[in-house]
Amino acid sequence: MSLDKYLRTVRKLNNMGRWAPEFMHQRATVSEHSFQVAQIGQMLALIEEEHGNKVDWERLFKKLINHDVVEALTGDILSFVKHRKQEMKNMVDLIEEEVADEYLLSYMEEPYRSKYKKLMFDGKDNTLEGQLLKCADHIDALIECINEINLENCNPFEEKYNTILNQLKQIDLISSRFFLENILPALLTDCRKLNITK
């Protein structure tokens, strides 16, 4: 049933770096990013529950750990390219789905083909869990920018930091506001450049 192919494919994420065209002092792999997003998403969900919101933990963790699996086939398609226009986003989504169908899912038998397809493409929707994933993904990118700026790699990471920060401010979650007000300032403590400009 070729579930072994899935396991081999996912391992490629261990070697795929993020922010492909940019020079970085510390480049994370997509696997490392996925782990960090899962940790951040878990923290955000705990904050939501502390404030009275009910989290579907199974749905959340499925979204968190699978949100970038398709990149094992496509590579890391940069956010500023993917989200440049809605037409571009729709086209990239279609291409990702076609590539996954052809090079991975077509080798699987049911019920696994349908189950894995849902896991791979059931990400940033309008559910609380989908919004937690979106927020966690932004926060990890924000932390990556802070790390690069701390290492004097300011161009283009200051601009990216400000863009991602503005996107994060648009997410209407208790946990995202909590992060911005209570956690982000501590992350910026040693970042002289961002402390001056924030």
Region class of 120: left (phi > 0), else alpha (psi between -120 and 50), else beta: alpha
At 127-143, the pLDDT tens digits run 999 999 999 999 999 99
Is the residue at 85 inside a domain? yes
Q: Where residue 73 sits, what CATH number does that domain have?
A: 1.10.3210.10
Return the structure tokens found at 50: 């502390």
Q: CA 70, CA 13: separation in Å to the nearest integer? A: 9
- DSSP alpha helices (H): ranges in 21-173? 30-50, 57-66, 71-74, 79-82, 86-103, 112-121, 128-150, 157-169
Please say if the pLDDT value at position 21 is more than 90: no
Is the residue at 117 inside a domain? yes
Task: Please tell me whether residue 74 adopts helix, strand or coil conformation.
Answer: helix
Name the band, by pLDDT with cuts 50, 70 and 90, for residue 23.
Answer: confident
At 164-194, the pLDDT tens digits run 999 999 999 999 999 999 999 999 987 777 7
Is the residue at 197 inside a domain? no
Is the residue at 98 inside a domain? yes
Is the residue at 198 inside a domain? no
Return the structure tokens found at 131: 């919004």
Total domain count, the chain: 1
Name the band, by pLDDT with cuts 50, 70 and 90, for residue 197.
Answer: very low
The phi, psi pair for 29, rounded to 5°, reads -85, 165
At 144-162, the pLDDT tens digits run 999 999 999 888 899 999 9
Model's pTM, two decimal places? 0.90
Is the residue at 11 inside a domain? yes
Torsion of CA 96, 6, 119, 62, to 10 degrees: -130
Residue 173 lies in domain: 3-189
Is the residue at 196 inside a domain? no
At 46-60, the pLDDT tens digits run 999 999 999 999 999
